[in-house]
A and B are shown apart, each in its own frame.
Chain A
Amino acid sequence: MPADGGADRRLLAGWGRTPATAADVVTPRRAAEVGTAVAGADRRGLVARGLGRSYGDAAQNAGGTVVDMTGLVGLRAFDGDSGLATVAAGTSIDALLRALVPLGWFVPVTPGTRFVTVGGAVAADVHGKNHHHDGSIARHVTQLRLDTPLGARTVAPDRDADVFWATAGGMGLTGVVTEVTLRLLAIRTSLVRVDTERADDLDDLMARMVAGDARYRYSVAWIDCVTRGRSLGRAVLTRGDHAEPDDLPAKRRRPGRGDLLGYDPHVRLAAPGWMPSGLVRPLTARLLNEAWFRKSPRSRHGELHSIPSFFHPLDGVRDWNRMYGVRGFVQYQFVVPPAAGEVVRTALERLTAARCPSVLAVVKRFGDATPGHLSFPRPGWTLALDLPVGPPALPGLLDELDELVVAAGGRVYLAKDSRLRPELVAAMYPRLDEWREICARLDPDGVVQSDLSRRLGLRPDARPERPRRRRDGSARGASVRPVGPARA
């Protein structure tokens, strides 16, 4: 970042805490400053970063500029009739929920953590437990403000639709989103009515999900992925919907007896910073899985949960990612078509056989895809696994699973990836070339880049040593730039 001198060289890593890289971080407070940053980025380009909850290297840009969007926050406009809210892209879902739940509104889609920005959620086209019912977040976005190297523009599903859909799921590589207009969901209470059941094995689980998911807005299964053999895939399935006032016990409904829309998230525990490296080892993974399974009810109906406990259970432990120790962990999440559920079984079998058990394994059914070129969700089964780095067999095993996923017509989630082989991206995302053309049009000099895009070669037109044009089209020399933290 030239001129304003506001850049600060910092090491950045993703949520998985795997290798960090250094970049010059700028933190704009106003949308206009984003434009300045985009225009001023040099040869190593720039990318936006939200709250850094992507697991891998999507929000990093080694040696270049990273635009920290968390300084650009706030509700810009809200229409209480239509539920349309316009928010600054750095606003977190946490902040939105605090402001909107008491007014009777909920975000249309939330990932498993509320500590993500709206911009980051759009860039990954995130899905929630309601994907089978409501699709991913881009379905509920009516408009975006996007800053590109050739200038800022407003895009929508019916206005520059190709740019809109290249951006939704485009991992920040079309430019910086500064503002998002979302259609919110009206709720009448801040509680969720939840049904819980246990499934004995994977077939049982999938059958229950196929038969019953349509009755629920939200559905997700936690799999005990340490168990082998016949009960492989035994699981706890939780499904539910926002509670209506009638679902609440009579005494809570009486006027004056507490607010139906009360919302009070608070982080209860913090994982201590001294947590020994590798606390989560195969043995502890086994114990955790066993304990969780045993404590879950065989079957329970109509239980009332708070929003944080149902949607964001992991947020109750701050910095829980530290538990995996200094070497960090990778998250492996893939989706395969409805008929390829066997890949889920094979993945679980191979990981347990190779003694790489996951601490968290989540299965969900996806509904319809959005037209996003690089959007991850498509109809079928998705499995997400947290895998501590360390077992020597892990890299090769995940490479093998990638092959199965590709052969089944599936893909892995780029927001969670940190280790995919570049040559598989095009097979997983068949519209990659179409997306690349849109990027090249928006950013002919390949200014928008990230560690993810370099590692996977997502934008082959972006070369490190390329000179770039200014916004007025004149060329700028590839002068050698001084290296170091403070550049005037």
Chain B
Amino acid sequence: MRDGLGTVSSVLVLGGGSDIGLAIARRLAAPRRGRVVLAGRDPHRLHEPAEALRAAGAGTVETALFDADDTDTHPGAIDALFAGGDLDVAVLAAGVLGDQEAAERDPRVAVDVLHTNFTGCASAALCVARRLRAQGHGTLVVLSSVAGERVRRSNFVYGASKAGLDGFALALGDSLVGSGARVVVVRPGFVTTKMTAGRAAVPFSSTAEEVAAAVDAAIRRGREVVWVPAVLRPVMVVLRHLPRALFRRLPL
């Protein structure tokens, strides 16, 4: 249960190998020796991060199979994840950046990105929401991105997938009002993780730990949208309203 001061005791990460997801799990579960479930498409590769979480102080860490792309398996897989006990927080961290140039050459590449980031995540979010509603409490944390706030020419496949997921998650949160469950939508800028390895950092970049701290604070305060770093919110207000002719020419 999330306690009176907003401290939680169990965390599920869907896309369990995600640097951001693992940082959130460590931040939320380690101080109180909480329970963590890491679910990813290759559970063997989750043993190492699971061990690291134990070393960081998590009480129990389990690993399980979850493939965002395989939507037919979602209802059963997610029910099974919740069968071991209530989950206070579920982090939806599965996602791929994709190769924009390849996608523009081959639509099938674009479809794969959209399938994982939008269709797969939307399906998983619905399954989690149903379980949270049934248990009468809990928070679904959805990793969106500033890239979805105004979709840019340079990565519009990824950006559009996040724009879709972002809107989906916000309204899913609205549908849960009164159920005891909530959705927190997280919009980070550039985060230095495996996903962005090899890319030059841009202004307003952050670390996975900073994203985790912001998510922790949002859960405690009952916030529904989190920008990391916080300054991205006013920055994006400006960018969102730039005329297209101008926005198009920005080096973003």
A, B co-complexed: yes
Interface residues of A (CB under 8 A from B): 9, 11, 16, 18-23, 44, 55-57, 61-64, 326-328, 330, 389, 394-395, 398, 417-419, 421-423, 451, 454-455, 463-465, 483
Q: Is B108 an interface residue (CB 8 A)?
A: no
Q: Is A464 a contact of B222 with CB atoms below 8 Å? A: no
Q: Is B136 an interface residue (CB 8 A)?
A: yes
Given contacts A63-B136, A327-B222, A421-B32, contact A20 B4 (CB under 8 A): no
Q: What are 9 A-B interface contacts by the 8 Å CB criterion?
A: A9-B179, A19-B137, A57-B4, A62-B135, A62-B136, A419-B4, A422-B9, A464-B85, A483-B133
- A278, chain B: closest CB distance, angstroms: 11
Most chain-A CB neighbours within 10 Å: which of B2, B5, B130, B178? B5
How many residues on the B side are at the interface (Cβ–Cβ under 8 A)?
25
- A437, chain B: closest CB distance, angstroms: 22
Q: Is B194 an interface residue (CB 8 A)?
A: no
When distances are taken between beta carbons in the complex, the residues of chain A under 8 Å from B137 are: 19, 21-22, 62-63, 451
Given contacts A22-B180, A418-B3, A418-B4, contact A64 B136 (CB under 8 A): yes
- B90, chain A: closest CB distance, angstroms: 15
User: Other CB < 8 Å A-B pairs besides A22-B179, A23-B136, 14 of them?
Assistant: A9-B179, A19-B6, A22-B180, A44-B135, A62-B86, A63-B134, A63-B180, A328-B4, A330-B5, A418-B3, A418-B5, A421-B32, A454-B86, A483-B130
The CA-CA distance from A395 to B28 in the complex, in Å, is 13
When distances are taken between beta carbons in the complex, the residues of chain A under 8 Å from B83 are: 465
The CA-CA distance from A465 to B32 in the complex, in Å, is 24
Given contacts A22-B137, A62-B136, A465-B83, contact A395 B7 (CB under 8 A): yes
When distances are taken between beta carbons in the complex, the residues of chain A under 8 Å from B181 are: 22
Given contacts A421-B32, A483-B133, contact A57 B5 (CB under 8 A): no
Give the contacting residue for B4; candidates A44, A61, A330, A465; CB below 8 A: A330
Given contacts A418-B4, A419-B5, contact A20 B130 (CB under 8 A): no
Given contacts A395-B7, A483-B133, contact A326 B222 (CB under 8 A): yes
Q: Is B221 an interface residue (CB 8 A)?
A: yes
Q: Is B1 an interface residue (CB 8 A)?
A: yes
The CA-CA distance from A418 to B2 in the complex, in Å, is 9
The CA-CA distance from A454 to B8 in the complex, in Å, is 12
- B19, chain A: closest CB distance, angstroms: 25
- B246, chain A: closest CB distance, angstroms: 39
Name the residue of chain A whose CB is nearest to the CB of B1.
A455
Name the residue of chain A whose CB is nearest to the CB of B182.
A19
Q: Is B5 a contact of A389 with CB atoms below 8 Å? A: yes
The CA-CA distance from A465 to B180 in the complex, in Å, is 20
The CA-CA distance from A275 to B33 in the complex, in Å, is 37
Name the residue of chain B whose CB is nearest to the CB of A16.
B4
Within 107-144 of B, Cβ neighbours of A (below 8 Å) are at: 130, 133-137
Interface string of B24-55 (1 = CB under 8 A from A): 00000000110000000000000000000000
The CA-CA distance from A389 to B4 in the complex, in Å, is 8
Given contacts A21-B136, A483-B134, contact A419 B7 (CB under 8 A): yes
The CA-CA distance from A327 to B221 in the complex, in Å, is 7
When distances are taken between beta carbons in the complex, the residues of chain B under 8 Å from A57 are: 1, 4
- B83, chain A: closest CB distance, angstroms: 5
- B38, chain A: closest CB distance, angstroms: 20
- B126, chain A: closest CB distance, angstroms: 13
When distances are taken between beta carbons in the complex, the residues of chain A under 8 Å from B1 are: 21, 57, 62, 451, 454-455
Q: Is A464 a contact of B5 with CB atoms below 8 Å? A: no
Most chain-B CB neighbours within 10 Å: which of A16, A19, A417, A451? A19
The CA-CA distance from A9 to B5 in the complex, in Å, is 24
Q: Is A21 a contact of B5 with CB atoms below 8 Å? A: no
When distances are taken between beta carbons in the complex, the residues of chain A under 8 Å from B3 are: 18-19, 418-419, 455
- A427, chain B: closest CB distance, angstroms: 15
The CA-CA distance from A422 to B8 in the complex, in Å, is 12
When distances are taken between beta carbons in the complex, the residues of chain A under 8 Å from B4 are: 16, 18-19, 55-57, 328, 330, 389, 417-419
Name the residue of chain A whose CB is nearest to the CB of B181.
A22
When distances are taken between beta carbons in the complex, the residues of chain B under 8 Å from A63 are: 134-137, 180
When distances are taken between beta carbons in the complex, the residues of chain B under 8 Å from A21 are: 1, 136-137, 180
Q: Is B6 a contact of A464 with CB atoms below 8 Å? A: no
Give the contacting residue for A19; candidates B2, B133, B134; CB below 8 A: B2
When distances are taken between beta carbons in the complex, the residues of chain A under 8 Å from B5 are: 18, 330, 389, 394-395, 398, 418-419
Most chain-A CB neighbours within 10 Å: which of B6, B135, B136? B136
Q: Is B136 a contact of A22 with CB atoms below 8 Å? A: yes
When distances are taken between beta carbons in the complex, the residues of chain B under 8 Å from A327 are: 221-222
